[in-house]
Amino acid sequence: MIFQDLNLITPILQALEKEGYTNPTPIQEQAIPSILLDKDILGCAQTGTGKTAAFAIPILQKLHKNKDYSKHAVLKALILTPTRELAIQIDESFASYGQFLGLHHTVIFGGVKQGNQVNRLNKGIDILIATPGRLLDLMSQGIISLRNIEYFVLDEADRMLDMGFSNDVKKVIKELPVVRQNLL
Ligand code: AMP
């Protein structure tokens, strides 16, 4: 199979071509069509098998199709991940696969001052990649609202629980709209 077989829009195919990717990996081949059909997904694959693109590509495509570019960006996609390193990598993936789309994304994590992150958030974003602690902190300050989230990704869900994030994850989920697409 090639990426052209997956019903992807031209700006995403162009980004993939620029990165030198022609064939989807097995998890991408299985997950992308189902995510485009609005299904919830639970996917398991080892690190390095293209899991990030498996959720990032269809989320970018769906956000782009429904986006009103004349309006201020509304936060519609949340990716929760256990570590700062993973959060930064995921943000880079959104930058890469979405390089020909006009969507805004940013990454937040703890251990650094919040000022730059808050400035970025206040400019308006469509996609947020976050570690749980900093997300809950900014939510409690009223800086982030999850009321318009349509796509929720729990990345490395097993590791998240191993690292003791279960209560934090529950608190985040409580703030999400009931109708949403869940990707684990
Ligand atoms: P991940 O498992 O998401 O961490 O991805 C592992 C690496 O594979 C990353 O460096 C991606 O840029 C790369 N990658 C993702 N999808 C593909 C693909 N379809 N073909 C080749 N490389 C890919």
Per residue in 122-134, pLDDT tens?
999 999 999 999 9
Provide the pLDDT for residue 47: 85
CB of 34 closer than 6 A to ligand 1?
Answer: no
Find the mean pLDDT for residues 67-77: 94
Among protein residues, the one whose CA lies closest to atom 19 of ligand 1: 24
Residues above pLDDT 70, as percent of the chain: 100
Q: Which of 127, 106, 1 is nearest to 58 (CA)?
A: 127
pLDDT in tens, 36-66: 999 999 999 988 999 999 999 999 999 999 9
Among protein residues, the one whose CA lies closest to atom 16 of ligand 1: 50
Find the mean pLDDT for residues 79-98: 98
- Please state the pTM of the whole predicted model: 0.97
